[in-house]
């Protein structure tokens, strides 16, 4: 049984490839585009629209049919005194039909081009959404890792403090209440360690599910990343026309316009050129031995019970609906863009404040380290200063995660979230 479990674990471990070196966000996104099942399904669905368009175009080409027939033929010729005749009858008919005038077909092809482009745009939208999901999983892993460091630092601090208070209590230099209070914080820090371990495991698992990659070694941050991100913000331009939702809404409106023309075409006559050749091998003198025909067939719709007019009115209503939907989509995207832009500025301000707080905490830690070496500060004081610095680092990373996700959301909103823009972004925040 243990051998079976071991074999299963080995198979699972080899099903996920490992990644050597620092694992950047652009690497995660690139692997997710290759391995994510939902995105690949969307790509295949988009490809199917190309074949649907080929079907529409094929209706404009000549259609050639060959009909073969044969069997027993039992008949009595009423214009002669012959008896009933039974014979083996066989023949064929070869026909060619070329559409000459079918406006509904040509307009359907034009509409199909828009549908194909719409499917490609929808796939691109899916890639943008996947990029946001991967980025969230990536920064969740960074944040959970830093939370674990903080929880471990707090636990070391309160464990040492608990030991020191216990020693002081035995000497009558402290009281039982301080000891219990410190023990409570020590146990809470242990609970935070367990919670952080679980969160880190789940965040790592989620990122591995996106990328099918294990052994993720995350890079370190640049010291001056706040200034770099502030520079990046000025490079983001509001390109509302590049937004996938707006592009899809515009395409839906144009497709609805074409649909009106397609349905109007049902009023128009249709013309086809037909060429046929038939040959029959039979003794029946009422049938042609060969029959060659070339003719133009004109079909004129006269009355359809109001069905065509009702279909046209339906298409007009759907077109009006598409116009309203496009306007609403633009309004929503503009509002969301302004909201993200303000959130970006607020996150930058908070990051700058945390940078100042981190500088102060680092100076405080350095001063306590010097004082501790000189015997003026205890190990407890040093650990407390380290824990404060870790707390500021965690808060800083939380704000950085919010800032990064806002930046990536702005890229998604502009339709410019791709591997190139992610690499430009990560060069400003990570060490390479």
Residue 201 has pLDDT above 80, yes or no: yes
In a domain, residue 5? The reply is no
Question: Smallest Cα–Cα separation from 60: which of 272, 298, 308, 269?
Answer: 272
Q: Indicate which CATH number applies to the domain containing 164.
A: 1.20.1600.10
Q: What is the pLDDT of residue 78?
A: 65
Residue 9 has pLDDT above 60, yes or no: no
Give the pLDDT band of residue 49 (cuts 50, 70, 90). very high
In a domain, residue 102? The reply is yes
Helix axes 25-35, 37-58, angle to 10 degrees: 50
Question: Smallest Cα–Cα separation from 23: which of 207, 254, 247?
Answer: 207
Domain that holds residue 324: 22-427
- Measured over the CA atoms of residue 32, residue 38, residue 42 and residue 45, the dihedral's sign is positive
Residue 122 has pLDDT above 50, yes or no: yes
Q: What is the pLDDT of residue 91?
A: 87
CB burial of 115-131 (b: ≥16 within 10 Å; e: otherwise) equals: bbbbbbbbbbbbbbbbb
> What's the structural domain count of the chain?
1
In a domain, residue 275? The reply is yes
In a domain, residue 14? The reply is no
In a domain, residue 318? The reply is yes
Residue 322 has pLDDT above 90, yes or no: yes
Tokens of 16: 């996920």
Distance from C-alpha of 239 to C-alpha of 366, rounded to nearest angstrom: 47
The predicted model scores a pTM of 0.79
In a domain, residue 4? The reply is no
Distance from C-alpha of 40 to C-alpha of 123, rounded to nearest angstrom: 9
Distance from C-alpha of 73 to C-alpha of 301, rounded to nearest angstrom: 39
What is the enclosing helix (H) or strand (E) of 145? helix 103-170
Residue 172 has pLDDT above 80, yes or no: no
Residue 100 has pLDDT above 60, yes or no: yes
Taking only the tens place, the pLDDT of each residue in 330-375 is 999 999 998 998 888 888 888 888 888 888 888 988 898 888 888 8
The long-range contacts involving 313-316, CB below 8 angstroms and separated by at least 24 positions, are 315/256, 315/259, 315/260, 315/262, 315/263, 316/260
In a domain, residue 286? The reply is yes
In a domain, residue 339? The reply is yes
Question: Smallest Cα–Cα separation from 131: which of 427, 430, 420, 429?
Answer: 420
Q: What is the pLDDT of residue 8?
A: 39
Give the pLDDT band of residue 15 (cuts 50, 70, 90). very low
Number of Cβ atoms within 10 Å of the Cβ of 419: 14
Question: Smallest Cα–Cα separation from 138: which of 420, 401, 410?
Answer: 401
Q: What is the pLDDT of residue 173?
A: 60
Q: What is the pLDDT of residue 376?
A: 80
Q: What is the pLDDT of residue 12?
A: 37
Question: Smallest Cα–Cα separation from 53: which of 144, 102, 152, 119?
Answer: 119
Collapsing DSSP to helix, strand or coil, 376 comes out as coil
Collapsing DSSP to helix, strand or coil, 16 comes out as coil
Distance from C-alpha of 296 to C-alpha of 389, rounded to nearest angstrom: 88
């Amino acid at each position: 049984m243990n051998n079976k479990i071991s074999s299963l674990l080995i198979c699972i471990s080899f099903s996920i490839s490992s990644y050597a070196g620092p694992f950047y966000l652009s690497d995660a996104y690139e692997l997710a585009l290759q391995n994510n099942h939902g995105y690949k399904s969307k790509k295949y669905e988009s490809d199917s629209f190309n074949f649907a368009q080929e079907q529409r175009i094929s209706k404009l080409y000549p259609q050639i049919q060959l009909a073969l027939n044969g069997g027993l033929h039992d008949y009595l010729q009423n214009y002669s005194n012959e008896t009933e005749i039974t014979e083996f009858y066989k023949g064929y008919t070869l026909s060619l039909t070329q559409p000459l005038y079918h406006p509904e077909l040509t307009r359907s092809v034009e509409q199909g081009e828009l549908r194909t482009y719409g499917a490609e745009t929808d796939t691109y939208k899916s890639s943008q959404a996947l990029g946001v999901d991967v980025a969230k999983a990536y920064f969740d892993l960074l944040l959970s890792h830093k939370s674990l460091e903080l929880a471990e630092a707090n636990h070391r601090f309160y464990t040492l403090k608990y030991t020191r208070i216990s020693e002081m209590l035995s000497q009558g230099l402290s009281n039982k209440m301080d000891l219990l209070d410190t023990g409570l914080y020590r146990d809470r820090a242990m609970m935070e360690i367990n919670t952080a371990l679980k969160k880190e495991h789940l965040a790592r698992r989620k990122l591995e599910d996106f990328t099918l990659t294990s052994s993720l070694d995350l890079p370190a941050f640049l010291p001056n990343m706040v200034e770099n991100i502030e520079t990046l913000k000025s490079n983001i331009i509001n390109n509302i026309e590049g937004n996938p939702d707006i592009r899809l809404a515009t395409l839906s409106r144009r497709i609805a316009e074409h649909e009106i023309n397609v349905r109007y075409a049902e009023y128009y006559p249709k013309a086809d050129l037909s060429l046929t050749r038939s040959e029959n091998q039979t003794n029946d003198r009422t049938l042609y031995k060969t029959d060659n025909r070339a003719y133009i067939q004109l079909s004129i719709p006269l009355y359809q019970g109001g069905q065509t007019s009702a279909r046209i009115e339906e298409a007009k209503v759907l077109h009006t609906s598409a116009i309203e939907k496009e306007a609403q989509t633009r309004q929503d995207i503009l509002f969301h863009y302004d909201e993200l832009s303000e959130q970006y500025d607020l996150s930058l301000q908070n990051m700058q404040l945390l940078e100042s707080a981190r500088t102060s905490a680092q100076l405080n830690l350095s001063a306590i380290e010097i004082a501790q070496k000189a015997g003026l500060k205890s190990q407890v004081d040093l650990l407390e200063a380290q824990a404060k610095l870790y707390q500021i680092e965690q808060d800083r990373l939380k704000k950085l995660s919010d800032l990064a996700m806002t930046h990536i959301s702005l890229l998604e909103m502009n339709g410019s979230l791709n591997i190139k823009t992610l690499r430009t972004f990560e060069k400003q925040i990570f060490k390479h």
